[in-house]
A and B are shown apart, each in its own frame.
Chain A
Amino acid sequence: MFRTLVRAVLPLLLFAGTASADTLDTGDTAWMLTSTVLVLFMTLPGLALFYGGLVRTKNVLSVLMQCFAIACMVSLLWMIAGYTIAFGPDGSTFMGGFGKFMLNGVGLDSLSGTYPETVFVMFQMTFAIITPALIIGGFAERMRFSAMMVFSALWLLIVYAPVTYWVWGGGWLAERGFMDFAGGGVVHINAGVAALVAALYLGKRKGFPTTPMPPHNLTMTVTGACMLWVGWFGFNAGSALASGGAAGMAMLVTHIGAAGGSLAWMTMEWTRFGKPSVLGIVTGMVAGLGTITPASGFVGPTGALIIGLSAGFVCFWATQMVKRVFEIDDSLDVFPVHGVGGFLGLVMTAFLANRLGGLGFLNENIESSGSQLVEQLIGASAIAVWCAVVSWVLFKLIDLVIGLRVNEDDETEGLDLTQHDERGYNN
């Protein structure tokens, strides 16, 4: 993906006065280092706080623990095998070769484009960390910690890494001209679908939907949301893989997407429920950001505005549908916000990449929005289907071997005490 991207943004890079694609550029390197930091910050503590505040007091630590533990475990798995599956040389259509197992060949001077390969490994690692961490929202408050760790590890290697290869590692979707700049499919559809499968497989939390389960600390949630907004600049603008015009535009459109999504959701709540809520406005923000993610390197500011506003509107309705109409306990609304948002962003890319200041399509064989739309739908569906099937199988297997869901008494007492022997608040 980055090769085609470099081809697309080379004019901008030359305009910015950078060197060719074979030597180290300190500007690009500095930005990629920074982006890596920002994206890790999105998980630790951004997402951890966002999710932590949404669950009940008795489960706050379980969320923090799951995010932290996933970050640690994925880091090591990525180093060992994830990176090579996703970006290994001499790969097949569906996954990379094992040449970079244990980061073999990645040395001090190895380059990935104009910056060190070590930085690319790290940058991509932070994406690999946050994607399984997002899934937590689907099974929150009822999943055993051990089962969660096993699932996350296997899902990373069998779903996330291969899908990354399909889209960014030179795999079949990249070859078809599928456009996913920063992870609408790789991250958001993947996480959303897995969370939905988790919610369906595990079933509802005890008492859902009749028992009130309000967020125990919205101040924590809003704090986390603010960190996500800031960190997302690393996520999207960092996916330009260079410091320059492309990163600047990606940052700009990301920001507009966030603001648009926030206000659209707030407006929906205000008109339908009578009052604007802080939970609504930050959820709209996440929806806007998730939806702009796949489009962030391809659309212009006006396109981003349309995307942001649409995201707030569409994801709002999707949340109502999943939770209130279908009564699926996707506890933290991962599917309607990330899954639907990512899908929406991928579709809108087909129509906005070549209009309103967009940068155009990547693949010269694609001439119209219609034909790009076909590729977007193929990619989105392939990712969703692969994710859904494998996730289901993994849940089934893990359930048979060690058991997935905590027992009813433990669920009532809370995961903090029963899974971790701890209380979040000791006063």
Chain B
Amino acid sequence: MKLITAIIKPFRLDDVRNALGEVGVSGMTVTEVKGFGRQRGHTELYRGAEYVVDFLPKSKIEIAVSDDIAEQAVEAIVASARTGKVGDGKIFVTSIEQTVRIRTGDTGDSAL
């Protein structure tokens, strides 16, 4: 089982959700985060006081998938989240040790 964490531009969220649905991923957790990599921030001005805002708003998507569809899921995210401009984001794939469905107690792949 793999945990796929994707940091993307927020306005791409719907496209990514739909693309993941098409490869069979129907559940996900989304968090609003802020961060930066190579994308520069911007300046804001309040009564002449200038602030450089480094952090940019991003969306973080976490999905837990079985090993056999992990690669397709990553490709789906890349295709739907990419704009070609700096700041598109990153994807991290990590291994999951255990998964449990709380309602039924199912474990492993059947809990995904």
Which residues does A use to contact B, with CB under 8 Å?
209, 212-215, 269, 273, 275, 277, 279-280, 283, 319-320, 323-324, 333
Interface residues of B in 55-106 (CB under 8 A from A): none
CA distance A280 to B44 in the complex (A): 13
Which residues does B use to contact A, with CB under 8 Å?
44-49, 51-53
Closest chain-A Cβ to B38's Cβ sits at a distance in Å of 21
Note all chain B residues with C-beta closer than 8 A to A215.
46
Q: Which of A212, A269, A280, A333 has the most CB of B within 10 A?
A: A212
Is there contact, CB below 8 Å, between A273 and B44? no
CA distance A323 to B47 in the complex (A): 9
Is there contact, CB below 8 Å, between A279 and B47? yes
Note all chain B residues with C-beta closer than 8 A to A320.
48
CA distance A324 to B52 in the complex (A): 16
CA distance A209 to B44 in the complex (A): 14
Closest-by-CB residue of B relative to A324 is B48
CA distance A212 to B52 in the complex (A): 8
Closest-by-CB residue of A relative to B52 is A212
Q: Which of B48, B49, B53 has the most CB of A within 10 A?
A: B48
Note all chain A residues with C-beta closer than 8 A to B48.
269, 273, 319-320, 323-324
Closest-by-CB residue of B relative to A211 is B51
Closest chain-B Cβ to A149's Cβ sits at a distance in Å of 28
Closest chain-A Cβ to B32's Cβ sits at a distance in Å of 13
Note all chain A residues with C-beta closer than 8 A to B47.
279-280, 283, 319, 323, 333
Q: Which of B44, B45, B49, B51 is in CB contact (< 8 Å) with A323?
A: B49
CA distance A324 to B46 in the complex (A): 12
Closest-by-CB residue of A relative to B45 is A273
Closest chain-B Cβ to A268's Cβ sits at a distance in Å of 10
CA distance A212 to B47 in the complex (A): 12
Closest chain-A Cβ to B22's Cβ sits at a distance in Å of 34
Note all chain B residues with C-beta closer than 8 A to A277.
45-46
Note all chain A residues with C-beta closer than 8 A to B52.
212
Which 8 A-B residue pairs are closest in the complex by CB-CB distance?
Answer: A212-B51, A320-B48, A214-B46, A273-B45, A279-B46, A319-B47, A279-B47, A214-B51
CA distance A155 to B48 in the complex (A): 31
Q: List 5 A-B contacts (CB under 8 A).
A: A277-B45, A319-B48, A323-B48, A324-B49, A333-B47
CA distance A215 to B49 in the complex (A): 11
CA distance A17 to B47 in the complex (A): 48
Closest-by-CB residue of B relative to A280 is B47
CA distance A319 to B49 in the complex (A): 10
Q: Which of A209, A275, A283 is in CB contact (< 8 Å) with B49?
A: A209
